[in-house]
């Protein structure tokens, strides 16, 4: 005798199995997007990238980075398309503004939407520049009353160099008012006199005016200490080699050294507000930019030096006004 099958019970069990199966969520897996550190930063470009990986079943499309001057950049900002699918990729950011902070995030287009990585930030290098005080307009020339050897220098405090850490000093410009031999020295450190010498080189200057002198090998700037640039020469009585401008009233612009002692030259001249015309070219590139290598603002070699003493007779410096 065959057992009697309970059709209703079988149907109920089958329905319960289907219900339990339908309620159980299938594992989706996970997508990971990593933003790579930014490297090779210049004044208008940088390199970065990212890595995309996943577990489960997804479709991975275009991958790249989003970049903006605002935090948490998205596709409404600048973005790159560097790869299709998973793996690591490299991104080249171009046409950036100098001395500007940017934010980036790696991204991946997926079947679950756009996935972003963590945010990274970086600041582009400043543009190459001439570092100097004043307006470079020649106002006075200075020299020793009786001739001899002396030095004049400009000190650039570390606080004004911060954004140029690692830049190269590959040339200087100095306003020379007498043809002759000049020693240019660059120092690091010191508040009332230079300390550590980085270079010292003799230059034969035949053109009066603002002369550009190459520094080779270039000096790498360390912004943790003050930067000094000095000029030394030996001249005859009646010669006034150092060019100055006025209107700065900053003691860092007017250091002078005679007989081994550094001092504020304006004190020697009765409080005259002057500024040495000394410049340093700071560059994160090669510095071979051509246009800046020419002699600028030439002055006539037959300048008139009237007898216009601005201090006591026992003070060795003599200041004249060529205008």
- Reported confidence tier of residue 233, pLDDT bands at 50, 70, 90: very high
Phi-psi region of 43 (alpha: psi -120 to 50; beta: other; left: phi over 0): alpha
- Phi, psi dihedrals of residue 88, rounded to the nearest 5°: -95, 150
Distance CA 321, CA 323 (A): 6
Answer yes or no: are the C-beta atoms of 167 and 276 closer than 8 Å. Answer: no
DSSP 163: G
* Burial group, residue 179, by CB count within 10 angstroms (0-12, 13-18, 19+): middle
Instruction: Give 111-150 as a DSSP string.
Output: TTEEEEEEEEEEEPPPPPEEE-SS-----EEEEETT-EEE
pLDDT digits (tens, 9 = 90+) for 64-74: 999 999 999 99
Write down the CATH superfamily of domain 30-123: Immunoglobulins (2.60.40.10)
Does residue 6 carry a pLDDT above 90? no
For 145-165, the pLDDT digits (tens) are 899 999 999 999 999 898 898
Rounded average pLDDT over 268-272: 74
| Residue 267: band (very low, low, confident or very high) from pLDDT cuts 50, 70, 90 | confident
Q: According to the model, what pLDDT value does residue 18 have?
A: 46
pTM (whole model) above 0.75: no
The DSSP bridge pattern shows strands 196-205 and 209-220 to be: unpaired
* Whether the predicted pLDDT of 228 surpasses 90: yes
Which residues belong to CATH 2.60.40.10 in the chain?
30-123
User: Does the pLDDT value for residue 312 go beyond 90?
Assistant: no
Question: Rounded to an integer, what distance in angstroms lies between the CA atom of residue 300 and that of residue 27?
Answer: 85
Q: Is the confidence at residue 287, as pLDDT, over 60?
A: no
Ranges for all domains in the chain classified under CATH 2.60.120: 129-320
Distance CA 190, CA 156 (A): 11
C-alpha–C-alpha distance, residues 6 and 27, integer Å = 36
Range with the largest mean pLDDT of 101-105, 121-125, 281-285: 101-105
CATH class of 129-320: mainly beta
């Amino acid at each position: 005798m065959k057992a009697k099958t309970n059709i209703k019970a079988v149907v109920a069990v089958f329905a319960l199995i289907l219900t339990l199966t339908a309620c159980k969520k299938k594992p989706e897996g996970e997508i990971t997007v990593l933003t790579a550190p930014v490297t090779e930063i210049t004044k208008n470009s940088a390199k970065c990238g990212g890595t995309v990986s996943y577990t489960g079943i997804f479709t991975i499309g275009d991958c790249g980075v989003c970049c903006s001057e605002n935090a948490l950049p998205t596709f409404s900002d600048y973005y790159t398309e560097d790869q299709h699918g998973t793996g690591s990729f490299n991104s080249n950011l171009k046409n950036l503004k100098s001395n500007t902070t940017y934010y980036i995030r790696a991204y991946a287009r997926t079947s679950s939407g756009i996935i972003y990585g963590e945010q990274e930030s970086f600041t582009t290098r400043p543009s190459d520049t001439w570092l100097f005080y004043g307006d470079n307009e020649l106002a006075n020339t200075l020299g020793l009353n009786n001739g001899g050897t002396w030095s004049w220098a400009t000190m650039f405090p570390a606080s004004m160099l911060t954004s140029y850490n690692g830049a190269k000093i590959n040339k200087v410009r100095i306003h020379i008012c007498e043809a002759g031999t000049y020693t240019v020295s660059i120092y690091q450190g010191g508040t009332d006199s230079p300390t550590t010498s980085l270079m010292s080189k003799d230059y034969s200057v035949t053109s009066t005016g603002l002369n550009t002198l190459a520094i080779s090998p270039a000096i790498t700037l360390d912004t943790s200490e003050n930067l000094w640039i000095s000029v030394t020469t030996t001249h005859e009585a009646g010669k006034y080699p150092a060019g100055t401008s006025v209107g700065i009233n900053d003691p860092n612009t007017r250091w002078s050294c005679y007989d081994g002692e550094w001092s504020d030259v304006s004190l020697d001249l009765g409080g005259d507000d002057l500024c040495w015309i000394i410049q340093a070219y700071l560059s994160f590139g090669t510095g071979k930019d051509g246009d800046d290598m020419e002699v600028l603002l030439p002055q006539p070699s037959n300048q008139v030096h009237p007898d216009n003493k601005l201090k006591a007779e026992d003070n060795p410096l003599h200041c004249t006004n060529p205008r």
